[in-house]
Amino acid sequence: MTRLSFLGAVARVFVWAFLLALAVVVLYPLLWMTLNGFKTNAELFGDPFALPLDWSFDNYAKAWNRGVSGYLSTSVLVTVTSTVVTVLVSAWAAYGLTRADLPFGRGLTGIILGGLMLAPTVALVPLVKMFQAMGLYNTFWALLILYTAFRVPFTTFLIRAYMIDLPREVDEAASMDGAGRWTCFWRITLPMCKPILVSTVLLHILFTWNEYLFAMVFTSGTGVQTLPVGLTSLMSKHGTEYPVVFAGMVIAALPVVLLFLFGQRYIVKGLADGVGK
């Protein structure tokens, strides 16, 4: 064995060891949380790292019946609606920035992308006052507007970076055949952007599903609270059933984990074909 092949073998061993350690660090908390959802309080505090004695789904049923089902429905509604609105608005904005000859186009691009520098926490107080004055506080519309407004700059940035490299000759040929802007966008450009659109959809879902700050500040009623905020209601001052809390956390995490497992290759492909160019 030559020296170079020996060094290559050692490097592969270190890489696989690192990846294995990383997988344990990521997967073990999820496994531990899932297993503790099958225990009782006594089992959990007696030995939190032991296997459950009784593999019963009672804690998961309790979490579901104590409000997790309603919080899950709200999260799905907010996530799906804000994702559709954000991606469509961002795609249309990116199309205008890359295909239309807009006056002060570079300045307009800078203004839109400047939204990436605005920290949500800085705008909390004025946003609360504005939403209260408009009657939107503690409503579904508040979360929809906030999640859309604060994600449009980032999503526009990703889609614009992908559209820049698309051939403009296709749009020009369609225009010569009588297609308007909207037809070119909807039937030609948008289908060619499928990889980056899938990536932005998945990234927005991951953000919205786990977002806590806006959901906590702008909602206070049980009918409009999302999962991250609603799970805190399972905690009681007079004694918390922590296995029920863990069960609720597993229910909340399961859709996102499955979505990421099935969609990670689309995220990588979309970002590599777009921003990575």
**Fold topology of 67-273:** MetI-like fold (1.10.3720)
Mean pLDDT taken over the chain: 83
CA pair distance 39, 169, nearest whole angstrom: 63
pLDDT tens digits for range 200-247: 999 899 999 999 989 999 987 667 889 988 888 777 644 678 888 899
pTM > 0.85: yes or no = no
Q: What is the pLDDT of residues 92-151, one digit of tens each?
A: 988 888 877 766 666 777 777 776 777 778 888 889 999 999 988 888 899 999 999 889
186, HSE (Cβ side, Cα atoms, 13 Å): 5
226 within 8 A of 215, measured Cβ to Cβ: yes
Q: What is the pLDDT of residues 70-97, one digit of tens each?
A: 899 999 999 999 999 999 999 998 888 8
